[in-house]
Amino acid sequence: MLIRIFTYFLTFTTICQAVPPNIIEKAEQSNCGYESCHPIKEGFINVHLVPHTHDDVGWLKTVDQYYYGSNSRIQMAGVQYILDSVLDELRKDPDRRFIYVETSYLWKWWKQQHDIVKHQFKKYILNGQLEIIGGGWSMNDEATTHYQSIIDQFTWGLRRLNDTFGKCGRPKVGWQIDPFGHSREMASIFSQLGFDGLLLGRIDYQDKSLRFSTKTPEMIWQGSDNLNASEIFTSVMFNTYSPPPGFCFDILCSDDPIIDDKKSPDYNVDKRIAQFLEYVKNMTKVYATNNVIVTMGEDFNYQDAHTWFKNIDKLILYTNKLQDTGSKYNLLYSTPSCYLKAVYEEARKDNISFPVKTDDFFPYASDPHAYWTGYFTSKPTIKRYERLGNNFLQVCKQLYALTDLGPEDWADLNAMREAMGVMQHHDAITGTEKEHVAHDYARLLSAGFDECRFTTATALSKIVTKKQKSTKLLNRDPAPAIPFSTCLLANISQCEYTENSNSFIVTVYNPLSRPVNHYVRLPVVEQHYKVSDPNGKDLPIQMVPIPDSIKKIPGRQSNAMYEIIFLASDLPPLGFKSYYVMKSSGSNLNTQSEGDVNIEIDQNTGLISKVTMNGKTIPLEQNFFYYRGTVGNNARPENRSSGAYIFRPNGTDIYKISWKSSYQIFKGDLVSEVHQTFNDWVSQIIRIYNGENFVEFDWVVGPIPTGESGKEVISLYTTNLKSESTFYTDSNGRELLKRVRNFRPTWKLSLTEPISSNYYPVTSKILIRDPNQDVEVAVLTDRAQGGSSLNDGEIELMIHRNCLHDDGFGVDEPLYEKAFNAGLVARGSHYLVVGPYLNNTGAKTLAAQERDLAQRKLLAAWTFLSPTNGLSFAEYKAKYAMEYSGLTKSLPDNVQILTLEPWYGMNFLLRLEHVLERNEDPNLSKPVTVNLKGLFTPFQIVSLRETTLGANEWLNENSRLKFKAGQKLETMVRSNETLRNDPLWYDGYRKWIRSQHESNDINLRRQNSNTIFKQQENFASNDEFSVTLDPMQIRTFIIDIQKNYEKYVLWE
């Protein structure tokens, strides 16, 4: 319908192999993994001592400061010394073990080592003394991260390990010991990575205490409502990741060493061992098996590894000696995977099953007044910058793969891959780092953008100049390369390029696998322009004035007074269209509008009062409020401050920023806008685009004035929906989870913080429903935020915050970001969707519409700008391609190419995902089959082989330990009589247990009852290029490609 590209293929037959090379290595001569575990002793309590270090990829110091050990006034931490020192200590005794986790540091160290050291390191990996655990580029946060970026950061970490160490470098255990709460999607991702288990450090203190008293800290966690095998054995550790109190033997600690000279007055072996065994005894009371894990390490420990290992040696020696006199404790050097294997074997032997968990671990509270829900929003501009980074990285990878950039182009994806890996760290995107560190993260990400700007420009230039080369239409001179730039400051309506040129080319690239329409907005100085599409057709445009509140954003240097808006329609999948824009003297070309979405503005208040969409009209008000953050000294839980981690409002009141806004309305044919000003630091533009089924709320907040308390600003949407204490939030941008106010499915919540204990991470979407009215109201976000529904009919999202005090969890800085000598201004968008969800009237259900919108915002069409170099439209078009698609056909609406990137030589990494849950749409939720043959324009897939999600193991070679699943946790809890008789808990339970997606289930039952759950086999075809995806399934392939030689290309 839209791809007017006809390529004729000749193939180079000699370049490619028919079968992918065995790039996923077999093990070398090795004894790693489970085979290298020290034997455990039957009939004993086996205590698995795991020496480890927790190395934050930036927090109080920058990544480089931590790596090199500089800036020690802040913290005595130098990662390079840790790896040096551990290596020396492992050499002394083959019994010793060590694990390493954060691969971004590992490679920083690796590239500085002599070959001999590398060889030694590899030796310890191969003999199992050193084990890589986790293996992502960083230990990612789980609340504010998006699944696409989590998968990317694991893929890159695991890839480097595979390249360097082969099978022995392949982690089998997730090690999420410090993130502040845990998402269900992460469990699903670990399961799809082919891991055997997951170890957690932080869960809610009430949850933890119940689990410890009922021997259920170990569980089978079901990571998905949709996937068949998404479960993973998960264990919550006894003391987060710290050693037993009194047993930190690091130079950073002050605990006594083990003194074993009996003549010394300080001899302490007996006392110390008794202390240690007392601790272990307490542990054995809470775990299901006779194997327990004791973490021997802390943040940045082992810079002088000798002190640790020497004392652990003695601890093991003297404790095990007691076995001669009947002790039943057996200490051993171990790793998380050896511990896991021991638990697995004991459970299998003794037929032990583990309870099943189906919800997530949010929000996390560490005490009654410390709810870690502030970081869902903290540092909102870093959170947006990261999301934009993902958008550009995917564009960059795709263009790299489609144009086959080689070494001659000097293009490099790694800077952006690695910067994005760092950004996922649990003190980066979370906003829980010191401010100077946040600036360093922005610097790293910006360097990644620079590399990708170069890569995309090179790729686009290759594509557009090909026309000249292939058609030989005009003269023999090749068309000169064209620069492509991108205006990152367009978010403050500033772009040097468009402001200072009389004419320019706008190239809009669509990274989605289906065609999209995209409204382009560019800041300009003048009022009259002409925009021509690739066919030379003049497009309707609209000029909208830039509001004063935007013009005065600190740091903005721009003369732009207007934004020019035009519709880039039918953008080809993985492709682009170019538009020729020039100033004109005449009037702008307009068109007729057609609107299905309408809003009403209350003339007295200037606030939105009503919305009509998808055939439903409901009263809806939106306004800005703030909470006053508690200011305390953190000495006791009741004195906890609100801060970077913690959201703790001072009471339950919210404060209106203004009861009314002054406003102006700009109606046009492409877009209608209401420009609202609430006060001198809060303003907003409400937008309705012609042909789009959502209302955009483009908010601008800051500088937040300081007062007697911090202000934590929310945007509150109030409707008349009877939502019955229930709302829904997404898990890392993927599956939807149900939330019930003041309720937890697996324990009775003691309500100490009524506001913040009801806050949940919103990575991309929050919604409420009213079954009687058959209305759903959803708000989609452009970055992660904290959100809730504290009263029926309401949705609130925290969009910006400042806090006067630190909250006592280490950052030691109040959260008050500055930019350009003023408090930070944040700008962002919410997208409101309203409609029926029970009786679907349109082609797509509301859920499917929301999926489509979320994708178009996550992987938005990317705008590039180029000069016209004095060429007229006709001259430009004669020389350069103005339209291109990387796909020969668009994929169905429910399938997206999640990943297309260069991998090894002539291999690419290709991931396909089904983007709907199984009960979201009667048609689009069906399994879908895609044939990859001839799918890509510039290359053919010669062969493909499926891997695990991380692309580091062939799927058919992956086998996982299968733990025996018992009852569901919520069912176990419900059978507890006290809870069942507790009306509040039981009411919550009733609401929570109601079918998670009642609405769409009805649709499904009506239209499609038996096809939806058919097994994949039914759809499988013999054609190896046919790929079938079940709802929410992601499939990863390494594809072997063969380039198409483009004999000639017709562009129309």
- Closest by Cα among 323, 290, 349 to 40: 290
Q: What is the rounded CA–CA span in Å between residue 291 and residue 86?
A: 26
What are the residues whose beta carbons fall under 8 Å from the beta carbon of 895, sequence distance 6 or more? 513, 912, 913, 914, 915, 928, 930, 1029
Count Cβ atoms below 10 Å from residue 8 Cβ, excluding itself. 11
Q: In the bound complex, what is the minimum distance in angstroms from residue 264's beta carbon to Zn ion?
A: 38
Closer to Zn ion by CB, 56 or 1030: give it: 56
Positions 194 through 253 that interact with Zn ion (CB under 5 A): none
The torsion angles phi and psi of 581, rounded to 5 degrees, stand at -115, 130
Strands 711-719 and 616-628, by their bridges, are: antiparallel
Closer to Zn ion by CB, 56 or 692: give it: 56
Positions 1 through 60 that interact with Zn ion (CB under 5 A): 56
- Closest by Cα among 676, 681, 619, 623 to 654: 623
Give the rounded distance of the alpha carbon of 817 from its chain centre: 23
Q: In the bound complex, what is the minimum distance in angstroms from residue 55's beta carbon to Zn ion?
A: 8
Q: Is 273 helix (H, G, I), strand (E, B) or coil?
A: helix
Structure tokens belonging to residue 210: 């119940």
Q: What is the rounded CA–CA span in Å between residue 304 and residue 351?
A: 43
The torsion angles phi and psi of 664, rounded to 5 degrees, stand at -135, 145
Contact letters for Zn ion, residues 59-98 (x by CB under 5 A): ----------------------------------------
Closer to Zn ion by CB, 736 or 815: give it: 815
Helix axes 115-126, 147-165, angle to 10 degrees: 100
Q: In the bound complex, what is the minimum distance in angstroms from residue 374's beta carbon to Zn ion?
A: 17
Closer to Zn ion by CB, 202 or 783: give it: 202
- Do the Cβ atoms of 144 and 427 come closer than 8 Å? no
Q: In the bound complex, what is the minimum distance in angstroms from residue 58's beta carbon to Zn ion?
A: 10
- Catalytic entry in 56, 178, 207, 806: 178
Q: In the bound complex, what is the minimum distance in angstroms from residue 53's beta carbon to Zn ion?
A: 11
Q: In the bound complex, what is the minimum distance in angstroms from residue 328's beta carbon to Zn ion?
A: 35
Residue 64 annotated in active site = no
Q: Is 637 helix (H, G, I), strand (E, B) or coil?
A: helix
Closer to Zn ion by CB, 124 or 645: give it: 645
Q: CA separation (Å) from 22 to 171, 327, 421, 820, 1040?
A: 19, 50, 26, 53, 12
- Do the Cβ atoms of 861 and 869 come closer than 8 Å? no
Dmax (CA) of the chain: 100
Which residue's CB atom is positioned nearest to Zn ion? 178
- Do the Cβ atoms of 1011 and 893 come closer than 8 Å? no
| Size of interface with Zn ion, in residues (CB under 5 A) | 2
Closer to Zn ion by CB, 56 or 921: give it: 56
142 lies in the binding site for Zn ion (CB under 5 A):
no
Query: CA gyration radius for the chain?
Result: 29
Closer to Zn ion by CB, 300 or 663: give it: 300
Q: In the bound complex, what is the minimum distance in angstroms from residue 208's beta carbon to Zn ion?
A: 18
Q: In the bound complex, what is the minimum distance in angstroms from residue 178's beta carbon to Zn ion?
A: 4
Element (H, E) at 507: strand 503-510
What are the residues whose beta carbons fall under 8 Å from the beta carbon of 611, sequence distance 6 or more? 597, 598, 599, 600, 617, 618, 620, 695, 832, 834
Closer to Zn ion by CB, 56 or 207: give it: 56
- Do the Cβ atoms of 493 and 523 come closer than 8 Å? yes
- Do the Cβ atoms of 783 and 390 come closer than 8 Å? no
Q: In the bound complex, what is the minimum distance in angstroms from residue 193's beta carbon to Zn ion?
A: 21
Contacts 24+ apart (CB under 8 A), 866-871: 866/482, 866/483, 866/484, 866/485, 866/504, 866/505, 866/507, 866/578, 867/482, 867/483, 867/501, 867/504, 867/505, 868/503, 868/504, 868/505, 868/580, 868/582, 869/480, 869/482
Q: Is 779 helix (H, G, I), strand (E, B) or coil?
A: strand
Element (H, E) at 950: none
Hunting for tokens 């004109």 — which residue is that?
584
Closer to Zn ion by CB, 53 or 943: give it: 53
Q: In the bound complex, what is the minimum distance in angstroms from residue 201's beta carbon to Zn ion?
A: 9
Closer to Zn ion by CB, 56 or 807: give it: 56
Q: In the bound complex, what is the minimum distance in angstroms from residue 1020's beta carbon to Zn ion?
A: 44
Closer to Zn ion by CB, 177 or 292: give it: 177
Q: What is the rounded CA–CA span in Å between residue 687 and residue 517?
A: 16
Q: What is the rounded CA–CA span in Å between residue 315 and residue 249?
A: 11
Closer to Zn ion by CB, 56 or 185: give it: 56
- Do the Cβ atoms of 187 and 223 come closer than 8 Å? yes
Contact letters for Zn ion, residues 158-197 (x by CB under 5 A): --------------------x-------------------
Q: In the bound complex, what is the minimum distance in angstroms from residue 811's beta carbon to Zn ion?
A: 12
Q: In the bound complex, what is the minimum distance in angstroms from residue 145's beta carbon to Zn ion?
A: 14
- Do the Cβ atoms of 297 and 336 come closer than 8 Å? no
Closer to Zn ion by CB, 178 or 1030: give it: 178
- Do the Cβ atoms of 1049 and 7 come closer than 8 Å? yes
Strands 682-689 and 671-677, by their bridges, are: antiparallel
Residues that bind Zn ion (CB under 5 A): 56, 178
User: Which residues participate in catalysis according to the annotation?
Assistant: 178
